[in-house]
């Protein structure tokens, strides 16, 4: 066997290895966001199964399969975000194998391999294979359920009926959107009961009934959660737009125009091949002799039903269309694309089309989107880590997200007092009761605006300064320090003596705002060492004069605009800063404002004196 033959024989193994790398690499790079925290809280390893069920029933009405399996992983490997994401990644990797099986069963082995190749490099599937939610498992169970449906249609036996019934139950135990796919399966089964090709209608009906009854019986324990879902009278999901499914189709392929062009082109080949098929006198569809027609009947019913029911429901009852819910039709879409590629007769053209799809998809994930280095999820982990690193006074944390934060701040190893109420309510309590006037932290995120009325803002400005603040992706933390507790801190700058204009390693900077008056000093801007990321760089603002070097209370501010402005490929989003120092904390004298940068990763350190001065 030559090298090329060996490569073809081991193509699925190679795809699984590449798919594993793409789904495991930087798997814990992003913080868990709101929905993922739901998973972590509801799969708490200390919960009994009934507690998981009750938690889902009360706050997150989803079927329990994913949560029960995640809890088992927590018990075996530890209660951490990487464990739950690894479970999703494993389900995603198994999805590559599953789509190969389905493509092979519907058409042939080569179509299965092409479909598996497309899925391996799918941005949409990679993304949800690294998310601590049930979507990669939904893809897997749906694909296997349709695989066993195809086996049942081709070979109606008790074994295949039981396997399909079991897998269909696992599918709807993963996400309730799978019920639409299940309805599509029963329509497909009904067609082959009415138009059987290898057995009698009676036999086909009997095995279809066995499968359906098994699924129904297994679904009974989950019925109360499903019933709770149907009782909802409002949803966070917006009403669908006229092009909602067009946008979802684009999301399936990462919104990449090059990938979409190739995908639409090869799907057109699938339909051209389909339209060339003649009529059948008997009206029967035989999978072995008419794979194109069988595939169309199979996949079109699957896709059409799964799209149509939610669309109608969104207009007559409640909106329910969210792109990730439709990951259960992605296998059908990809196999239809794979069939279009398979029908290209010229092997060179076929190889080039598939190669271009792989290259464009991979480039889109790694380079265009910068998936493995750009932050796209709410940074709750980093915001709470900032609190833990700077909360030496054990001050309470005020937040409107109190249910979500105990995993980070009050989890057995960490013990922080969490006050679960909006900032406005907490400030009102301090206004009404001066005994409650104490330093505190405030954290929020997930597109929640900073909301405080003028009276509350004036009260905070009168009694507090912000000595620690971090502004991250969709999350922020602030420490409100009582002015009566504010003391200036000296900076040790002896290593830079004699201090000149630029000391140590040089860096780029700009002061955006500066205000120095009888109340103190406030300023903001950005600073970074050139030729490297700013993710590990600490920025401090210092007042230098009268033989003293006084540290400001300096906070990190997220600045997405800096890197594009300097045409830099480095991550400079953490280069922003804001700083303030109240007049009470500054000894009398004349001072120059300095910026002091230290990078914990590269070891660079520099001090630069700005042209800003202050006199008290």
CATH number of domain containing 500: 2.60.40
Do both 533 and 437 map to the same domain?
no
**Which residue among 310, 343, 368 closes a domain?**
368
Do both 227 and 343 map to the same domain?
yes
End-to-end CA distance of the chain: 85
pLDDT in tens, 20-30: 999 999 999 99
146-150, 287-291, 345-349, 568-572: range with lowest mean pLDDT:
287-291
Helix (H) or strand (E) holding 520: strand 520-528
Per-residue pLDDT at 359 exceeds 70: yes
CA angle in degrees (0–180, nearest 5) for 452-458-462: 130
Q: Give the separation between CA 298 and CA 300, rounded to whole angstroms.
A: 6
Burial of 362 (0-12, 13-18, 19+ CB in 10 A): middle
Q: For the chain, what is the domain count?
A: 3
pLDDT (average), residues 116-127: 97
**3 falls in which pLDDT band (50, 70, 90)?**
very low
Do both 340 and 461 map to the same domain?
no
Give CA 394 to chain center in angstroms: 31
pLDDT at residue 78, rounded to an integer: 94
Angle between helices 109-120 and 81-106 (to 10 degrees): 150
Residues 6+ apart with CB under 8 A from 347: none
Domain assignment present for residue 259? The answer is yes
Q: Give the separation between CA 364 and CA 175, rounded to whole angstroms.
A: 29
Which of 471 and 203 is assigned the larger pLDDT?
203
Do both 528 and 480 map to the same domain?
no
pLDDT at residue 8, rounded to an integer: 60
Give the residue numbers spanning the domain of 458.
379-486
Do both 404 and 364 map to the same domain?
no
Radius of gyration of the chain (CA): 30
pLDDT at residue 517, rounded to an integer: 83
pLDDT at residue 241, rounded to an integer: 92
Burial of 458 (0-12, 13-18, 19+ CB in 10 A): exposed
Do both 335 and 398 map to the same domain?
no
**Which residue among 368, 396, 425 closes a domain?**
368
Do both 64 and 117 map to the same domain?
yes
Domain assignment present for residue 282? The answer is yes
Do both 268 and 353 map to the same domain?
yes
Do both 65 and 210 map to the same domain?
yes
Do both 256 and 360 map to the same domain?
yes
DSSP string, 214-257: HHHHHHGGGHHHHHHHHT----SSPPPPTTHHHHHHHHHTTT-H
Q: Give the separation between CA 28 and CA 41, rounded to whole angstroms.
A: 18
Q: Give the separation between CA 274 and CA 297, rounded to whole angstroms.
A: 11
**281 falls in which pLDDT band (50, 70, 90)?**
low
Per-residue pLDDT at 5 exceeds 60: no
Ordered alpha helix ranges (H), 441-511: 454-463
> 364 and 251 in contact (C-beta within 8 Å)?
no
pLDDT at residue 135, rounded to an integer: 98
pLDDT at residue 287, rounded to an integer: 87
pLDDT (average), residues 142-147: 98
Beta strands in 414-519 (DSSP E): 418-420, 440-445, 464-472, 475-482, 489-490, 502-504, 508-517
Per-residue pLDDT at 109 exceeds 80: yes
pLDDT (average), residues 514-521: 84
pLDDT in tens, 28-82: 999 999 999 999 999 999 999 889 988 888 877 899 999 999 999 999 999 999 9
pLDDT (average), residues 201-215: 96
User: In the chain, pLDDT over 70 holds for what percent of residues?
Assistant: 98
pLDDT (average), residues 142-155: 97
Q: Give the separation between CA 158 and CA 151, rounded to whole angstroms.
A: 11
Q: Which is nearest to 106 in space by CA: 345, 342, 352, 353?
A: 342
pLDDT at residue 282, rounded to an integer: 65
Q: Which is nearest to 542 in space by CA: 574, 483, 499, 572?
A: 499
Q: Give the CB-side neighbour count of residue 428, counting CA atoms within 13 A.
A: 8
Give the Cβ contact number of residue 136 at 10 Å. Answer: 29
Do both 322 and 440 map to the same domain?
no
pLDDT (average), residues 140-146: 98
pLDDT at residue 6, rounded to an integer: 52
> 271 and 158 in contact (C-beta within 8 Å)?
no
Domain assignment present for residue 3? The answer is no
pLDDT at residue 217, rounded to an integer: 96
Per-residue pLDDT at 2 exceeds 50: no
Domain assignment present for residue 374? The answer is no
Q: What tokens does 370 get?
A: 């910068």
pLDDT at residue 280, rounded to an integer: 64
Do both 279 and 402 map to the same domain?
no
pLDDT at residue 288, rounded to an integer: 86
Q: Which residue has the tokens 């036999």?
A: 203
**Which residue among 486, 507, 539 closes a domain?**
486
What's the Cα-to-Cα distance from 576 to each of 238, 270, 468, 513, 523, rounded to whole Å?
34, 52, 14, 12, 11
């Amino acid at each position: 066997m030559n090298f090329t033959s060996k490569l073809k024989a081991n193509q699925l193994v190679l795809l699984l290895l590449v798919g594993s790398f793409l789904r495991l690499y930087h798997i814990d790079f992003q913080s868990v966001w709101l929905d993922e925290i739901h998973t972590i809280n509801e799969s708490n390893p200390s919960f009994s199964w009934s507690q998981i069920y009750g938690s889902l029933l009360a706050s997150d009405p989803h079927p329990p399969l994913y949560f029960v399996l995640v809890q088992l992983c927590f018990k075996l490997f530890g209660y951490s975000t990487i464990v739950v994401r690894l479970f999703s990644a494993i389900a995603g990797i198994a999805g590559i194998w599953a789509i190969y099986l389905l493509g092979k069963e519907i058409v042939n082995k080569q179509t299965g391999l092409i479909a598996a190749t497309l899925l391996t490099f799918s941005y949409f599937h990679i993304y949800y294979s690294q998310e601590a939610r049930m979507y990669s498992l939904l893809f897997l169970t749906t694909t296997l359920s349709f695989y066993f449906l195809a086996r049942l249609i081709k070979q109606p036996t008790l074994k295949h009926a039981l396997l399909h019934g079991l897998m269909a139950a696992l599918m709807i135990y993963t996400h309730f959107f799978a019920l639409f796919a299940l309805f599509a399966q029963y329509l497909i089964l009904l067609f082959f009961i009415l138009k059987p090709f290898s057995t009698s209608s009676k036999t086909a009906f009997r095995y279809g009934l066995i499968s359906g009854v098994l699924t129904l019986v297994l679904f009974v324990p989950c019925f109360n959660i499903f019933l709770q879902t149907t009782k909802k009278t409002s949803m966070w999901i917006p009403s669908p737009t006229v092009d909602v499914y067009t946008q979802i189709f684009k999301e399936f392929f990462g919104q990449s125009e090059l990938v979409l062009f190739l995908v639409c082109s090869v799907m057109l080949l699938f339909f051209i091949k389909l339209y060339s098929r003649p009529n059948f006198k008997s009206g029967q569809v035989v999978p072995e002799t008419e794979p194109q027609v069988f595939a169309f009947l199979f996949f079109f019913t699957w896709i059409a039903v799964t799209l149509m029911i939610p669309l109608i429901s969104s207009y007559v009852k409640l909106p329910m269309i969210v792109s990730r819910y439709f990951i259960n039709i992605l296998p059908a879409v990809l196999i239809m694309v794979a069939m279009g590629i398979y029908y290209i007769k010229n092997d060179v053209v076929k190889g080039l089309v598939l190669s271009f799809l792989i290259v464009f998809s991979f480039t889109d994930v790694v380079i265009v989107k910068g998936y493995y280095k750009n932050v796209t999820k709410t940074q709750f982990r980093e915001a709470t880590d900032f609190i833990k690193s700077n909360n030496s006074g054990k001050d309470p944390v005020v937040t409107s997200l109190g249910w979500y934060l105990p995993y980070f701040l009050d989890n057995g190893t960490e013990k922080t007092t969490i006050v679960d109420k909006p900032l406005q309510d907490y400030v009102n309590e301090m206004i009404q009761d001066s005994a409650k006037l104490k330093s505190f932290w405030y954290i929020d995120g997930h597109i929640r605006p900073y909301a405080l009325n003028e009276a509350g803002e004036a009260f905070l400005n009168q009694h507090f300064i912000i000595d620690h603040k971090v502004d991250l992706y969709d999350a922020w933390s602030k420490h409100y320090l009582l002015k009566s507790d504010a003391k200036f801190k000296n900076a040790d700058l002896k290593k830079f003596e004699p201090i000149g204009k630029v000391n140590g390693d040089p860096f780029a900077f700009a002061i955006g705002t500066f205000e120095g008056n009888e109340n103190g000093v406030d300023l903001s801007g950005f600073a970074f060492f050139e030729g490297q990321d700013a993710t590990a760089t600490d920025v401090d603002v210092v007042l230098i004069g009268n033989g003293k070097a006084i540290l400001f209370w300096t906070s990190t501010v997220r600045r997405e605009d800096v890197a594009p402005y300097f045409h830099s490929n480095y991550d400079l989003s953490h280069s922003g800063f804001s700083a303030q120092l109240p007049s009470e904390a500054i000894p009398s004298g004349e001072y120059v404002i300095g910026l002091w940068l230290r990078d914990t990763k590269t070891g660079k350190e520099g001090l630069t004196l700005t042209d800003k001065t202050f006199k008290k």
